[in-house]
Amino acid sequence: MEKYWMEVALGLAAEALQVGEVPVGCVFVLDDQVIAKGRNTVNETRNATRHAEMNCLDETIDWCTKTSRDFYATMASVKVWVTVEPCIMCAAALHSLHVSAVTYGCKNDRFGGCTSVLDTSLLYSQPTAMQGGFESDRAMQLLKDFYKGTNPNAPQAKLKKTIQDTR
């Protein structure tokens, strides 16, 4: 079943790539059932916080409301599958909500909150278990495919002004 959940997340990441988003996909699984799935929507929404994990959190809140379940109790039983190491913001949120476990694909050398940039688990007395390297080559290939192109929503590069010698 583990491979299946990562396949679902990879499919969501591929969808993100097709629409010009950083290709990250995520699923929240409770009792062998997907209760939330998400992909990055940062460019679409022009909101830098709309990562796949945050979109899943929103879906989980909706799911809990519709099924009359306690959000925090639900989160404590949720297993998370995400294609890229959660960033510091997302890793901290998942630790804070005490999700059952997080399995991710490739490392996130720029923003990783599991081990790559900051080990957020050190900030919590009862951290969530986060394990990486699952289907990492496939997840990394999606990122490479994204970064081969250009991001039309990226801010304009600012050129440094040089001081000219006036002698």
Is residue 18 within 8 A of residue 45, CB to CB? The reply is no
Rounded distance between C-alpha atoms, residue 30 and residue 100, angstroms: 10
- Annotated catalytic residue within 2, 15, 53, 85: 53
Which 3 state secondary structure label does DSSP give 111? coil
Hey, what amino acid is at 118?
A: L
The DSSP secondary-structure symbol of 70 reads: -
53 flagged as catalytic: yes
**What is the CA angle 115-33-133, rounded to 5?**
25
Which residues are known catalytic residues?
A: 53
